Amino acid sequence: MAQPAPRSIVLSAGELSGDMHAAHLVAALRDALPGFAVTGMAGDRSRDAGMAVRFHHRDYAVIGFTGVLASLPRFWRLERDIRRLIDRAELFIPVDYPGLNLRLCAYARARGVPVLYYISPQIWAWGAGRMDKIRAHVDRMAVVLPFEAELYRQAGVAAEFVGHPFVVDHELPAPAATEVRRHVALLPGSRASEVHHMLPLMIAAAKVLAARAPGVSFRVARSPVVDAALYERIIGQPGIDVTTDADAVAVLSGARAALVASGTATLQAALLETPLVIVYRTTPLNFALARRLVKIPHVGLVNVLLGEKVAPEFVQADAQPAALATALHALLSDDAVRAGMLERFRSLRAQLGGCRGTVRVAEIARELVTGKQP
């Protein structure tokens, strides 16, 4: 006798970090809802966890307003195809990636499919313009930063802090001892467009730093979804000691200091107790548009969480090789500067933990599917 087809949950995680976090959720969903199949957009880690990945995030890895505009036909087709999956689903779980996912939330609710949003859009950074959409189209919100839950509750959205995945679900290794930290880490981002904009600047800064601190070596964290040839073309023959490594955690763990593109990796560095300098540079048009929208004083997530500029930030025109090299040199040579930064970083694990992570998110999913609240 033929087995009945599994019931369906659609998950949408549109970038590398989302796939990393979604993989733990997929595993938790298989335990909490064993009769359900999880399908949609994610990446290799979610596939390995048991998700039927119909669309791989690497095929849609663009950054900035101009990158999205250039890829609109491809995104329209993607949205159409995910909508078809939602038509047959009993739950939609978007993971971050708000540009596409908020539109899919509206579609799911219009079709009567409940929505559980995991890893909130950063409305605290982009202003509250998206809050009305979230309130109208999201049933439950599972957030990973402690201050976000209250923001949503005040706006009438059912939200719960579940802990940050870096601390709860896939805890990073313990910080390495100082004596084994040898190199300077360079993390230019996880998408090809980020690497294109950020890595030449980082290599230029590395050359300036190497002239001031002879013998220093550099390791570039290579994104698994970016062609290795791009790194080779940019690095070329730099005249300094530069290697690449696809393991970003290992690159950060062994680093005495790091130069990190603004994003998730800034928090990884802080939790690994690696002193860092944060840098952000994009095209002039993207920056002009972002400056009109962003509503927070810091670009680095670690500084947002700590409420002050603990890690130096260099944005757009201020992101010059000499300035970056000077800030990195201070982290290499000034023990007091290093110690002060690391002392602040050590408070982050307690701030981001104490919850059950994706196990709790899967429980919320079960509540939405069954209609049974605890």
What would the pLDDT profile of 335-360 be if each residue is shown by its tens digit? 999 999 999 999 999 999 989 999 99
Flag whether pLDDT at 238 surpasses 70.
yes
Which residues of 227-325 form beta strands (DSSP E)? 242-245, 255-261, 276-280, 313-315
pLDDT score recorded for residue 317: 86
Domains in the chain with CATH codes: 7-168+353-370 (3.40.50.2000), 178-351 (3.40.50.2000)
**Encoded tokens for 214:** 């002879």
Return the SS3 of 299.
Answer: coil
pLDDT of residue 61: 61
Weakest-pLDDT range from 133-147, 237-251, 290-304, 353-367: 290-304
- Distance between CA 119 and CA 100 in Å, rounded? 14
Burial of 77 (0-12, 13-18, 19+ CB in 10 A): exposed
Query: Averaged over 315-329, what is the pLDDT?
Result: 95
**By the 8 A CB rule, do 213 and 333 touch?**
yes
Q: What is the dihedral of CA 160, 111, 130, 57, to 10 degrees?
A: 80
What is the DSSP code (8-state) at residue 174?
Answer: P
Residue 313 contacts residue 298 (beta carbons within 8 Å): yes
- Residue 204's DSSP bridge partners are none
Backbone angles phi, psi at 260, to 5 degrees: -130, 130
State mean pLDDT over 112-141: 85
Calpha distance 331→114 (Å, rounded): 48
Report how far residue 129's alpha carbon sits from residue 143's, in angstroms, rounded to the nearest whole number.
Answer: 18
Does the pLDDT of residue 288 top 70, yes or no?
Answer: no
Coil, strand or helix at 294: coil
| Nearest one of 204, 210, 337, 216 to 279, comparing CA atoms | 204
Percent of the chain's residues with pLDDT above 90: 72
Strand order in the sheet with 36-42: 52-56, 36-42, 7-13, 91-95, 116-118, 140-143, 159-161
Over range 173-196, report the average pLDDT: 92
Query: CA-to-CA distance for 39 and 55, rounded, in angstroms?
Result: 9
- pLDDT above 60: residue 16: yes
Q: Which residues are paired to 86 by β-bridges?
A: none
The dihedral formed by the CA atoms of 349, 355, 356 and 358, expressed in degrees to the nearest 10: -70
Residues in the chain: 374
Query: What is the enclosing helix (H) or strand (E) of 265?
Result: helix 264-271
Mean pLDDT taken over the chain: 90
